[in-house]
A and B are shown apart, each in its own frame.
Chain A
Amino acid sequence: MKFILLILIFFTSCEATNIHNEKILTRWISLQKIVKINPKIEQKKPIIKPKATIQYLFAVAFYDRSFELNYDCIYYEIPLNDEMGKLLIQKNYSDEICPDYPTKEIIYESLNVKDLNFELKEQNMFLSLQYKDDKEKNQEMIFRKMPLKISSSVSEVFSKKPAILKDNEICEKVSDDCKVTNPRCDNCKNSFFPIINSACKTNYSKVCGPNNCGTKGNPACIRGYAASKYDLDYCINDSPIGFCEGDLRVMCINNTLICD
């Protein structure tokens, strides 16, 4: 009988170690994607070197309770002999590159971590934490790629929201070599529309506000490179890449095509 009881206790304790990490779970409940994975970290294997250093792992994009797209940067402080490791999560306001070390607000910290490994797949993410007391916490999250967005209102540390951009502010800047910087058109108060202010032929910068293109003093509407069959410098007066209402002319002012 004692033997049977021992077996029962053994199986019960196995179940008890399978704990979900509710705090991360509720924060990332509408996880969208994993971004910027650290290529130096090998997945599915415990991270043991270099000891006592903080390593950036990856960033998660998710919708918060106000339906804003948020980014968290995930770090791991690797244990040094008896000193246990830490899982650290830093909040980022946009998809700017996570710094190598956490420098901003840490919104989650899990101490006494002995072992950590993770696996990122196309549809889900698996995060496994082994603690000093040999408890194991496994967390599997499924990405939500559909338009539906949900978010939890379970209390969390939420700092102030990114400022709403006003009309006429550039919300996505495209450089001459087509590099996109600081895309945040979701933060426009109203809608946004494309303008021509660079030599990039495959993407356009975007400006917050109602589309007033083509009118006097405002950006030219886009005719496009393919439609105009024009392949030279865009920034000239009467540039065929843009068009304006009625008798207004397309002018290149401060590298932007404007109607005047």
Chain B
Amino acid sequence: MYKFSKNSIPKVFSIVGLILIFLIIVSHFLSTKTEPENPTQITFKLISQLKDRWELGDIENHFHKKKFTCDKLIFNAKNIDSEFLKCNPNYLECFLNNETPINSEFSIVNNGKKYSLKIIKNNNQFFSQYQNSINLNAQIIGLDLGVFRIKLQNTCNEVLLPQRIYSAGEVSDNSQVWDNLNQQIYIDKFYVSNLDIYHWDKSKLDHLEPKKFHLPNTSLSINERKNYCLSKRKQLLQSHVLDAASFIPSDLSDSIPEFVYKYPYSWTKKKKGVFLYESLDDSDYEVKAKDCEYAYVADCLKIVDYKHFATDSVSWMGINNILGHYLEFVENKFLPSQNLKASSFYFNAKSAWHEVGKRASWDGVGYLKSNFDFGEFSPVSASKYEVAFRCMRYGKDK
């Protein structure tokens, strides 16, 4: 058996010392393998979490499961699609207020240290609106960067019109041919909502309740609509651009066709079997709930609830609410008086208005039947005919 002697003690210390040196060297090289991230990387990772929440909205679908209520900010109803919560300042406020079931902290752990993004209220507000974005003040707990501003752009609500030759006007009209080659045109996916107007200028909406936030705005005058779009660095949607976004191209791979063929319905090149076409021929045709997903017309009001921000009736390039839905005001550069997409839930399925490219006229003054020129086709009776609108913009690059 080995016995310790007094002489062996220095040897033990030497061995322990060498082991310690070895461990320090190893730990140093191990630690240099996981380089600490610099403040830029940490900042961007944290802001990416905020940006994802802003752009994806209620990705967990807690809204429809009624797992949260933010009565003062969002009205929870079945007929609102979760698209409404994307790039929605009210939803973000609700989230930051910790009123949703998700932990509202944006944080990361780096090299054992926790960093979190703190949104700082200014005058009791989380954000201010500026053009097409919201601005927030923030700081990072764990980094000495001070308070900085974050701009969250509304990237959710517009779509780029592909560059090709288009033909505006109804199917039989080939006089309004144009192209957007070398031009970027972005179009709003949905109608401008009351919530959009509320954040732009509260004085334009008298006593607006949250339960009306998701509805399309139909109360602004034509000039106010133009001014709203301008405030977002946009302009009112033009009629020929709406047609371009609505007519399904005959050949997507050919952007410069010799002749632009047009089809009356936005979701198919066929006529036969389409409920709108069948209704024209057969007055006994009964509209079904499935039909209303393609075009929400007057017959649908008795069958299914109108769903706001729904993406069922999406066009070939990504905008919604093409045929049926609300009346929509447009600026017509070819034929100025034809400024209204008449296809809407004010006309039955058998109405001839339900074709892409057809336009009626609105005087922009009132909302009674006498303020519109629907030609020989009469709408269903209503106390007022609500007219929605949306914006578009040109991009800088080709």
A: residues with CB less than 8 A from B are: 1, 3-4, 7-8, 11, 20, 22, 25-26, 29, 31, 63, 65, 67, 139-142, 144, 146-154, 172, 183, 185-186, 188, 190-194, 202-204, 206, 210-211, 213-214, 221-228, 243, 245-246
Contact = CB atoms under 8 A, between A and B. Distances in A.
Contacts of A147: 153, 155
Interface in B346-389: none
Given A148-B47, A190-B230, A203-B182, A221 B333 contact: yes
Contact of A154 (B48, B146, B179, B393): B146
Given A204-B182, A243-B178, A246-B336, A149 B153 contact: yes
Contacts of A7: 21, 24-25
Contacts of B398: 202-203
Contact of B235 (A67, A141, A211): A211
Contact of A224 (B48, B147, B178): B178
A192 B226 CA distance: 14
Nearest to A66: B149
Nearest to A8: B24
A contact face: mostly helix, strand, loop, or mixed: mixed
A150 B148 contact: yes
A85 B112 CA distance: 38
B256 interface: yes
Interface string B143-171: 00111111111010000000001100000
B51 interface: yes
Contact of A191 (B44, B47, B137, B393): B393
B183 interface: yes
Contact of A226 (B48, B133, B234, B256): B256
Nearest to A10: B28
A20 B137 CA distance: 24
B20 A4 contact: yes
Contact of A150 (B21, B147, B151): B151
Contact of A172 (B166, B393, B396): B396
B148 A1 contact: no
A8 B28 CA distance: 10
Given A29-B43, A222-B178, A227-B178, A210 B333 contact: no
Given A20-B38, A224-B179, A154 B165 contact: no
Given A150-B43, A150-B47, A214-B333, 15 more contacts: A25-B39, A29-B148, A67-B133, A139-B38, A148-B153, A153-B146, A190-B233, A191-B233, A191-B234, A191-B235, A193-B394, A202-B182, A204-B183, A224-B178, A226-B256
Contacts of B145: 26, 29, 152, 154
B181 A225 contact: yes
Contacts of A186: 396
Contacts of B182: 202-204
Contacts of A223: 177-179
B183 A194 contact: yes
Contact of B394 (A139, A142, A183, A194): A194
A221 B28 CA distance: 67
Contacts of B256: 226
B337 to A, nearest CB: 9
Given A148-B47, A191-B234, A224 B181 contact: yes
B41 interface: yes
Given A148-B153, A151-B148, A4 B230 contact: no
B122 to A, nearest CB: 12
A214 B178 CA distance: 14
Given A142-B41, A227-B165, A183 B181 contact: no
B180 interface: yes
B333 to A, nearest CB: 4
B143 to A, nearest CB: 10
A71 to B, nearest CB: 16
B142 interface: no
A223 B218 CA distance: 31
B203 interface: no
B250 to A, nearest CB: 16
B40 interface: yes
A150 B177 contact: no
Contacts of A3: 17, 21
B53 to A, nearest CB: 12
A11 B30 CA distance: 13
Contacts of B51: 146, 148
Contacts of A190: 230, 233
Nearest to B258: A229
Given A1-B17, A25-B40, A222-B183, A150 B333 contact: no
Contacts of B180: 224
B45 to A, nearest CB: 10
A190 B145 CA distance: 33
B47 A245 contact: no
B117 to A, nearest CB: 11
A29 to B, nearest CB: 6
Contacts of A185: 396
Contact of B151 (A67, A139, A142, A192): A67
Contacts of A148: 47-48, 51, 150-153
A98 to B, nearest CB: 21
A152 B21 contact: no
A47 B394 CA distance: 44
Contacts of B393: 191
A185 B233 CA distance: 11
19 contacts: A4-B21, A11-B24, A29-B145, A31-B40, A147-B153, A149-B151, A150-B47, A150-B149, A151-B149, A151-B151, A172-B396, A191-B229, A204-B183, A210-B226, A211-B235, A222-B183, A225-B179, A243-B333, A245-B334
